[in-house]
Structure 1
Amino acid sequence: MNIGRTLVLAKNVFQEVIRDRILYIIGFYALIIAVAFRAIPEFAAVSADKIFLDVGLAVMNIIGLIVAVFVGTGLVNKEIEKRTILVLIAKPISRSEFITSKYLGLSAVLGVLLAAMTLIYLGFLQFAKMSYSPTSILIAVGFLFLQLSLITAVAITLGVFTSSLIATALTFAVYLMGNITQDLVQLGRLSRNPGIEKLTQGLYLILPDLSRLDLKNDAVYGLQALPTPTILMNNAGYGLLYSFLLLAIAVILFLRREF
C-alpha cells in the first residue's frame, strides 16, 4: 500500500464530505449548547453545572455518532451506485488504499468536528465560570474520537457488503450492544444457564467494548478521577487495534467484490 497515495485519496474524501455542508453541524451544536446553557438553570439550579457538563459531551457524542454512521455506511456504496468505483479501480489504486483512505478521510472530518465543538463547549464553560477539569474534558473528547473512529470502521466494513440502509441499522445495533457488552457478561453469569453464558461471552469477544472508550462520566462526575495512564493507553490501543482489524476485514471483503 502506497502511503502517499492513500493520504491524497483521504484528503479528497475529507474535502468531499466537507463540501456536503457537514460543518453546519457545528452551528447546530452551538445552538443546542446555548439553549441548554439558558434552560438548565431554570430546571435544576442546584446541579446545573454538572448537568450542563454532561449535556455538552453527550450532544457531542450523538452528533459525532450520526455523522460516523450515516456518512460512513454510504462512503463505499455511493461510489458503487454512481459507478465511479469502476474509474477508481481502473487506476493504479489498490482496494486496500481505497478503503483506508475512506476511513482516514472521515476520521479527519470527525476530528475537525470534535475540535470545533470542544472549543465551543469550553468557551461556554469559561464564560459561565463553571468548575471543571480541562484535562479530564480533553482526554474524554480524545477517547470519544477513538470511539467514533472505531464506529466509522464498523460502518465502512458493513457498507462494503450490504446496502447503506441495512449497514446503518447494523452499525447502530453494534454501537448500542458495544456499550453494554460487560453488562451482558454479568447478565449471562446471573442467568446460571450455560447456553446463555456462552452466548454472552461470545458477544463480548466479537463486539467492541465501547465502554472502555467512554470517559464522559469520569470527566463530568469524577473530575480528577480518570483511569491511570496505563489503563488509558491500554484502552486506546484496544480501540486502535479493533479499528485496524475491522479495516482488514473490510479490505478482504472488498477484494472479493466484483464490479
Structure 2
Amino acid sequence: MNLGRVYVMATNVFREVIRDRILYIIGFYALLMVVVMLLLPQIAATTEDKIFLDFGLAAMSILGLIVAVFVGTGLVSKEIEKRTVLVLIAKPISRAEFIVAKHLGLVSVLALLVTAMTIIYLALLQFQGIAYPLGSILLAAFYLFLQLSLITAVALALGVFTSSVLATLLTFAVYLLGNFSQDLVNLGRISKSPGFERLTQGLYLILPDLSRLDLKNQAVYGAELLPDPLTLLANAGYGVFYTVLLLAIAILVFLRREF
C-alpha cells in the first residue's frame, strides 16, 4: 500500500466532504446549544446544569452519527452506482488504498467536527458558570470519535456491496443494536429460551459493542464512574481493532466485486 497515494486521496475526500457544507453542522450545534441554554431555566430550574451537560454530549453524538452514516454509506456506494469508480480503479490506485483513503478522509472530517463541537460545548459551559469535569468530558469526546470512526467503517463495509439507502438503514440498525448488545445478552439469559439466548449471544459476538465507547453518562454524573485506566485502554483497543477488521472486510468484498 502506497501511503502517499492514500494521503492524497484522503485529502481529496476531506475537501469534498467539507465542500458539501458539512461544517454547517458546527453552526447548527452552536445555535441548538444556545437555544437550549436559554430555554432550560424556564422548564428545569433545579436540574438545568445536569441536563445541559447531558444534552451537549448527546447532541454531539447524534450529529456526528448522522454525518458518519449518511456520508459514509455514500462514499463508495455512490461511486459504484454512478460508475465513477471505474475511472478511479483504472488509475494506479489499489482497491485497498481506495477504501482506506475514503475512511481516513471522512474520519478526518469527523475529528474536526467533534473538536469544534467540544470547544463550543466547553465555552458555553464556562459562559454559564456550570461546573464540569474537564478531563472526563475530553475523554468522552475522544471515545465518541472512536465510536464514530467504527461506525464509518461499518457504513463503508455495507456501502461496498449494497445500495446507499439500504446501507444507511443497516448502519443505523448496527448502531442501535451495538449500543444495546449487552442488554440483548441479558434479555436472552432471562428469556429461558435456548434458541433466543443463542441468537442474542450470536448477535453480541458479531455486532460491535458500542457501549464500550460511550462515556457520556460517566462524564456528566461523575469521574468516579469512569472505568479504570486498563479497561479504558482495552476498550479503545477494541474500537480500533473492530474498525480495522471492518475495513479489511470492506477491502476483501471490494476486491471481489466486478464492475
Q: Determine if the TM-score, normalized by the shorter chain, exceeds 0.5.
A: yes
1:181 equivalent in alignment to 2:164: no
Q: How far, CA to CA, are the matches of 2:232 and 2:3 in structure 1?
A: 28
Q: How far, CA to CA, are the matches of 1:187 and 1:80 in structure 2?
A: 40
Q: How far, CA to CA, are the matches of 1:150 and 1:77 in structure 2?
A: 18
1:248 equivalent in alignment to 2:248: yes
Paired position in structure 1 for 2:239? 239
Q: How far, CA to CA, are the matches of 1:22 and 1:9 in structure 2?
A: 19
Q: How far, CA to CA, are the matches of 1:81 and 1:199 in structure 2?
A: 34
Letter in 2 for 1:152: T
By how many angstroms is 1:224 displaced?
4.1
What is the SS of the residue equivalent to 1:192?
coil
By how many angstroms is 1:86 displaced?
1.1
Gaps of 5+ in 1: none
1:59-98 to 2 correspondences below 5 Å? 59-98=59-98
By how many angstroms is 1:225 displaced?
3.0
Mean CA deviation greater in 155-164 or 217-226: 217-226
Paired position in structure 1 for 2:3? 3
Q: How far, CA to CA, are the matches of 1:3 and 1:31 in structure 2?
A: 39
Q: How far, CA to CA, are the matches of 2:226 and 2:4 in structure 1?
A: 37
8 Å CA contact retained: 1:136, 1:224: no
Moved over 6 A (4+): none
What is the SS of the residue equivalent to 1:109?
helix
1:23-42 to 2 correspondences below 5 Å? 23-42=23-42
1:221 equivalent in alignment to 2:227: no
* Residue deviations 1:146-188 (CA, integer Å, cap 9, x gap): 0011000000000000000000000000000001100011011
Paired position in structure 2 for 1:115? 115
Q: How far, CA to CA, are the matches of 1:206 and 1:164 in structure 2?
A: 22
Q: How far, CA to CA, are the matches of 2:18 and 2:152 in structure 1?
A: 16
TM-score by length of 1: 0.98
Q: How far, CA to CA, are the matches of 1:210 and 1:117 in structure 2?
A: 21
Q: How far, CA to CA, are the matches of 1:174 and 1:97 in structure 2?
A: 25
Paired position in structure 2 for 1:129? 129
Q: How far, CA to CA, are the matches of 2:31 and 2:176 in structure 1?
A: 27
Paired position in structure 2 for 1:106? 106
Q: How far, CA to CA, are the matches of 1:87 and 1:110 in structure 2?
A: 27
Gaps of 5+ in 2: none
What is the SS of the residue equivalent to 2:225?
coil
8 Å CA contact retained: 1:133, 1:224: no
8 Å CA contact retained: 1:77, 1:160: yes
Question: How many residue pairs were aligned?
Answer: 259
Q: How far, CA to CA, are the matches of 1:221 and 1:130 in structure 2?
A: 13
By how many angstroms is 1:87 displaced?
1.2
By how many angstroms is 1:80 displaced?
1.9
TM-score by length of 2: 0.98
Q: How far, CA to CA, are the matches of 1:255 and 1:212 in structure 2?
A: 31
Q: How far, CA to CA, are the matches of 2:116 and 2:38 in structure 1?
A: 21
Q: How far, CA to CA, are the matches of 1:194 and 1:55 in structure 2?
A: 39
Paired position in structure 2 for 1:47? 47
Q: How far, CA to CA, are the matches of 1:10 and 1:221 in structure 2?
A: 38
What percentage of residue pairs aligned between the two structures are identical? 69
Q: How far, CA to CA, are the matches of 1:79 and 1:191 in structure 2?
A: 44
By how many angstroms is 1:81 displaced?
2.8
Letter in 2 for 1:93: I
